[in-house]
Chains A and B, each alone.
Chain A
Amino acid sequence: MTGTVPPRDPAAQPERTDLAWRRTALAFAAVALFAWRAPTVSGGATAVSLTAAALCTAAWVVFLLAARGRLRLLRARQPAAVAGGRVLVAAGAVLATAAGGLLLVLLG
């Protein structure tokens, strides 16, 4: 006990936030993978279905990059609030995935 160390975070907040990003990235991976069912298993590998699946995968990669950057910042003892730009990118990736799904459903 030197007195210079801040008290232990009583609710492990950075760790919980870290895990929230990780499970969101995992859920995103499942959706991105699922988008490949149409061009590979159920339908034909048409230009539209391949484009849609590629769009969902690209969105997932973008989300992963955003999450990775945030995980690095969350290692701080008292991390700053997430930047608004990162929030926008994360939500934009979900929007892109929804757009990919619409492409698949309407034109695939």
Chain B
Amino acid sequence: MIGLLRAVGLWFSPGRVRDEGETPDYRFSLANERTFLAWVRTGLALVAGGIAVDQFATGLDWPVRTAIAVVLLAGGGLCAVRAVNHWVRCELAMRRRQDLPESRFPAVLAVGTALAALLIAVAVVATGAFR
């Protein structure tokens, strides 16, 4: 919890990251940056999915369609936030020569994505949403 609060503090004054430890090999930092961008794209894909459900699954009832779309959009926002958090934590760990942070987030996201896909498949088959 304290680690989380510290990390949140660092999101808003990320310049402090450079005060910690020593600068690692620039290639490691660039790899961390690309991982950050990959999470940004994951978030964007979820946002696009949310808009797509709203735009194309018009055969679904409004509450169902909106609920799925909102979950996808919120997931996209969450990915963006988590992208910053993970970038900060990895950058700090590298500067302090510590192990990279562990995270359950990818597994949670994978399970969530699988459940969402199942839910949408059931909804589509049950209601003929895309007809």
Contact surface of A with B, Cβ cutoff 8 Å: 9, 11, 13-14, 16-17, 20-21, 23-24, 27-28, 30-31, 34-35, 37-38, 42, 78-85, 87-88, 90-92, 94-95, 97-99, 101-102, 104-106
Contact = CB atoms under 8 A, between A and B. Distances in A.
A47 to B, nearest CB: 18
Given A35-B51, A95-B80, A24 B26 contact: no
Interface in B82-126: 83-84, 87-88, 91
A24 B47 CA distance: 14
Interface of B is mostly: helix
Contact of A80 (B26, B34, B43, B74): B26
Interface residues of B, number: 48
Interface of A is mostly: helix
B15 A20 contact: no
A91 B30 contact: no
Given A23-B41, A79-B26, A105-B66, A87 B36 contact: yes
